[in-house]
Amino acid sequence: MTVEQISRAVAIFRELPRSSDEEVFRKLVPTGVERQYAARLVEFLPMAYGRLLLGKAGMHFSDMFQRMTPSGDLTAEQPLSSEPGWEEVVSFAQAEARRVVSKEDVMAAAGRSAELHAANQLLNQGSKPEDLILTTALLKWPQEGPPL
């Protein structure tokens, strides 16, 4: 996964803030990003940006994930770092944070994060950020992504 591909995906999130993940995926694949990498970008970019925001508030995260299989079963837990592109996506989001991108640009990706939504619900119920430890991430798409 290249910086150019990551940048292309981030641009699509920002251009189409109200689009579904599937729409972003379908827009990304024709730009030359391999299906599997496009799927990882749509899954990982929101997580990476959401974790940047939540981490600043003192929250903790699992470094593990599980993937839902087409039959509805869950795979065994695996480290996020074992997935192609995870480290690159995290590095890209961190580099943008150092460049001080706008809150709207960060939220275009972070706002799609299931972890961010779960954390917001817990915070709205009175939890303190530093007391929260988010569990294993659940990825719902198969390796090759959703149907085109």
Residue 148 lies in a domain: no
Per mean pLDDT, which range of 35-44, 55-64, 100-109, 119-128 is the poorest?
100-109
Of residues 29 and 146, the one with the higher pLDDT is 29
Q: How far is CA 130 from the centre of its chain?
A: 21
In a domain, 33, yes or no: yes
Host domain of residue 132: 3-139
Q: pLDDT tens for residues 76-116?
A: 999 999 988 899 999 999 998 888 778 888 888 989 998 88
Indicate the Cα dihedral angle 62, 42, 96, 89, nearest 10°: 60
State how many domains the chain has: 1
In a domain? residue 100: yes
Choose between 79 and 135: higher pLDDT: 79
Examine residue 30 and state whether it is found in any structural domain, yes or no. Answer: yes
Q: Which of 73, 72, 69, 41 is nearest to 142 (CA)?
A: 69
Mean pLDDT in the chain? 89
| Alpha-helical regions (H) of 1-148 | 3-15, 21-28, 35-56, 86-98, 103-110, 114-124
Q: Is residue 144 part of a domain?
A: no
